[in-house]
Structure 1
Amino acid sequence: MALDLYEKTNLSTAQFTRIPCGGSNDDDGEGEACPEMAVVGDDVFALRDSKNPEAGTLLFNGAELAALRDGIGSLI
């Protein structure tokens, strides 16, 4: 049975760090909309939008995060 990361993870003390990215996707060109990441448990990682953190947070285990990284890398 898979662990439900959203049910078991407390984000109240998460320490998010901005992941450096290039470019800007603002219409006015001010600032970068980069992702932020935090380690929030044993093999649990949180990812959110730095410009809109209230929009929600995605949770991944290590294998899922590696697959995401590999998938994004193949697009670049």
Structure 2
Amino acid sequence: MQNGIDLYSLDIDSASFVKACGGPCTEGCVTLARIGDQAWALGDSKRPEAQPLRFTTEELDQAGIDPARFGLNS
């Protein structure tokens, strides 16, 4: 929960996901989209039907995931 907001209540239908690959993208890539102020959705391109996980910017930082790697500003 971010400032009392449930990250899973944020609408991601119009979110623009960007891929970042650690190598050849034949195995699938991680996708990331900003879904709110300091809120992100993290998906898996090889499982597009799976619901993306939601994180705060602080949680992404703690996990070592840098939105800049996706071409996004944090």
TM bin (shorter chain): 0.7 to 0.9
Could you say which structure has the greater relative contact order, defined with CA pairs below 8 angstroms and 6 or more residues apart? 2
- Aligned pair count? 63
How high is the TM-score relative to the length of structure 1? 0.72
Q: For structure 2, which runs of at least 5 residues remain unmatched after alignment?
A: 66-74
- The corresponding residue for 2:68 is none
Matched residues, percent identical? 37
Matched, 1:58 2:56: no
Equivalent runs, 1:33-48 vs 2, <5 Å:
33-48=28-43
Q: For structure 1, which runs of at least 5 residues remain unmatched after alignment?
A: 25-30, 71-76
Q: How well do the aligned residues superpose, as a CA RMSD in angstroms? A: 1.9
User: How far apart are residue 22 of structure 1 and its match?
Assistant: 1.5
AA partner of residue 22 (structure 1): G
AA partner of residue 53 (structure 1): P
Structure 1 outlier segments of 4+, above 3 Å: none
How high is the TM-score relative to the length of structure 2? 0.73
User: How far apart are residue 2 of structure 1 and its match?
Assistant: 4.0
